[in-house]
Chains A and B, each alone.
Chain A
Amino acid sequence: MRRRHAKARVFAKFCGLVTWLGTALLLVLLWQIFSDGLRWLDIDFLRSFPSRFPERAGILSALAGTLWLISLVAIISIPVGVATAIYIEEFGGKGKLVKIIDINISNLAGVPSIVYGIIGLTLFVRGLQLERSLISGALTMSLLILPVIIIASREAIRTVPDSIRHAAIALGGTQWQTVWSHVLPASFPGILTGVILGLSRAIGETAPLIMIGALTYVAFVPEGPMDSFTALPIQIFNWVSRPQEEFHELAAAAIIVLLVVLLSMNSFAIFIRHKMEKKLQ
């Protein structure tokens, strides 16, 4: 009996230690980035284009590119992903087709991002002749994160109890009315979580963008989806690979900006989710 308790205590300690280890590593990383980059971070850094002189270099084009990219990705991937999840869960039945789609989506979630880059290059850049434009990048990124959004949305839709669906059907609702007014609102918080996971991944991915040939030096702000572009991760990658110490610090500053964009996106989503959940209770 005593040995069992001892075992339990040791295990709990071990779990606690591992949790703290992960957090501590993250803190060290953050501290290093902030101490390197913070002094470069000012309004001029956000307002300037990249330059070969560190003191004049900025991230305007990369930040604009990232914001453009993420907006386009959201516009493309959210409707497609959620609609796919609804079809599979609510309308698809148990046919072979749905099973095949199901297996494919699960597999796609595990495909390395560079492979999506190759698909994007052949399909969008060359096949559809969209060139190295924002829209090519957004379509490629959408492909990359669709599995994440679909899987999370399906999970969320599945947690809506059948009793709600039955109630709506019994009140003379069609299946679509049932999904639109009851299933979707009830699964919205879960769907939002999936969307955020997906978009967060898209915002940080570099490999597919390099593959489809997003530019590393861009001295203009994209004005439409057909313009060529760069993005924060590419700018960071570019600066880190230079020999001068100053550029490494600039990269750290850009990472801070990327983190801020990411965190504000996430907190906005959490805010909406919190509001929705409150409304449901």
Chain B
Amino acid sequence: MSSQSINAETAATELDNILEMENVSVAYAGNYAVKNVSFNVARNAITSIIGPSGCGKSTLLRCLNRMNDFILDASIEGNIRFEGQDIYAREVDAVEVRHHIGMVFQKPNPFPKSIFKNVAWGPTVNRYQGSITELVERSLKQASLWDEVKDRLNDSALGLSGGQQQRLCIARALAMEPNVLLMDEPCSALDPISTAHIEDLMFDLKSRYTIVIVTHNMQQASRVSDYTAFMEMGNLIEFDESERLFTRPSNQRTEDYVSGRFG
């Protein structure tokens, strides 16, 4: 853990942190996938988590909205705070956590229902008070999908292309009006044009949402994110502003990875 260097810490404390991770470890049936990771996520910024396959970056991300609750033998140690509140505290309802922290998955996973119902389902089950129709339109516009689907909202979502499906999943998450959006390799199943589309979208969303994105694409991380965490074998190796981490990393392992010497 001594190799861990957090240069952005001084800068980050001045910023407003929406999520704080403190000595987070995650074990599946006794095998640690994430070891003692600590860093903060700044509000209205894009933070990316990079690292080679199996380094624990997705596992860490899934802890942030308690999606690991459903993996039976996963155990989580340490402290994760959202707006200062420990999200694993006993009195906290995991469903409530996921209202505030939305998630987009690696593979587009629209419900086998209409486009409209895909977006409307989350707000409906959470008793949204306003007009669902307006909310669906607003969310689809935010995900820059509205123009492509406005004439066929009642068609099945499975008829959309992969890139459109992923933007639909983003729209669906945005319809919950979350504070944080977690994205688990959202572009790994998409072609370059769809990827560019989603990256543009992330820039647009930054002013209103905090985004944490897991990616194994370093170019993507350096293009879109303000902060980057580099993980390896479950350890956090370096956390810094993206610009510095990709140009002047302070750790040799990071340098080897971002310069493409391995991984």
Contacts and interface: CB of A to CB of B under 8 A. Distances in A.
A240 to B, nearest CB: 49
B151 to A, nearest CB: 19
A171 B67 contact: no
A164 B108 CA distance: 10
B125 A163 contact: no
Given A93-B72, A171-B173, A181 B125 contact: yes
B180 to A, nearest CB: 12
Interface stretch (A44-52, A75-83, A132-140, A172-180): A172-180
A182 interface: yes
28 contacts: A94-B72, A163-B105, A163-B107, A163-B109, A165-B70, A167-B105, A167-B110, A167-B111, A168-B121, A169-B67, A169-B70, A169-B98, A170-B65, A170-B102, A170-B103, A170-B173, A171-B173, A171-B176, A172-B96, A172-B125, A173-B125, A174-B95, A174-B125, A181-B121, A185-B112, A186-B112, A280-B112, A280-B156
Contact of A171 (B96, B122, B156): B122
A173 B120 CA distance: 12
Contacts of A167: 105, 109-111, 169, 172
A170 B67 contact: yes
Nearest to A177: B125
Contacts of B103: 170
B206 interface: no
Interface in B66-97: 67, 70, 72, 95-96
Given A170-B98, A170-B103, A174-B95, A164 B121 contact: no
A19 interface: no
B67 A166 contact: yes
A163 B165 CA distance: 14
B253 interface: no
Interface of A: 93-94, 161, 163-174, 177, 181-182, 185-186, 280-281
Instruction: Report, as a range, how many residues of chain B touch the other chain.
Output: 20 to 34
Contacts of A171: 98, 102, 121-122, 125, 172-173, 176
A177 B111 CA distance: 14
Nearest to A178: B125
A174 to B, nearest CB: 6
Contacts of B122: 171-173
A172 B127 CA distance: 11
Nearest to B114: A279
B70 A281 contact: no
A86 to B, nearest CB: 16
A186 B103 CA distance: 22
A281 B158 contact: yes
